[in-house]
Amino acid sequence: MGDFWVFGYGSLIWRPGFAHVETQRARLHGYRRSLCVYSFVHRGTRERPGLVLGLDRGGSCVGLAFRVPGDLRDEVIAYLRERELVTNVYLERMLKIRLDDGGTVDAVAYIVDRQHKQYAGALDAAEAAAVVRGAVGQSGINEDYVLSTLEHLEALGIRDHWLEEVARLVAPNATS
């Protein structure tokens, strides 16, 4: 089989964790980056959930596309499924993305399952900040996750106004 693409919009941007031979900025239409997934383990607990990113319906999302050699398909898909499908809050899909070079490719992407109990819905920035503030899980402080995501997006020249507003509300002295 030939090479394939993976679309990253959150932690996959700065920590893909799999071999790839090319990276390009890309846009996915029909989905937006959103803190719409309650985290009961990595950035919160069942008693005090945090929020992590998901791709939710509506709008568009700029992220990174990773081209993976076809001979690594089984290995990379197994890794992604282990990483992304732990609680089955995400659905694996092949979606069309537009690469920065103008080409369009199908890419593996993980979208939020709106029927899953961890789906937080479309929160406004203030609601999301209230959930994030003070939540801590096995992977650390929820505020750090939001601020780190924003730092990595800014380093790539990717603007996410909604996430910027959440970060401003969570840590007003940490953002410009």
Could you list the residue range(s) of the whole structural domain that residue 81 is in?
4-122
Classify residue 168: in a domain, yes or no: no
Classify residue 145: in a domain, yes or no: no
What would the pLDDT profile of 90-135 be if each residue is shown by its tens digit?
999 999 999 999 999 999 999 999 999 999 999 999 999 999 999 9
- CA neighbor of 166 nearest in space, from 136, 140, 145: 145
Classify residue 79: in a domain, yes or no: yes
Classify residue 147: in a domain, yes or no: no
**From residue 123, how far is each of 35, 97, 138, 148, 163 by CA, in Å?**
8, 25, 24, 20, 11
What would the pLDDT profile of 30-50 be if each residue is shown by its tens digit?
999 999 999 998 899 999 999
Residue 145: pLDDT over 90: yes
- Chain position carrying tokens 């103008």: 102
What domain count does the chain have?
A: 1
- Chain position carrying tokens 């801590």: 136
| 98 vs 11, residue with greater confidence | 98
* 84 part of the active site: yes
- CATH number of the domain at 29, please: 3.10.490.10
Classify residue 167: in a domain, yes or no: no
Q: Give the confidence band of 171 by pLDDT, cuts at 50, 70, 90.
A: confident
What's the one-letter identity of residue 148? S
Q: Which of 84, 151, 154, 164 is catalytic?
A: 84
Q: What is the pLDDT of residue 37?
A: 97
Classify residue 82: in a domain, yes or no: yes
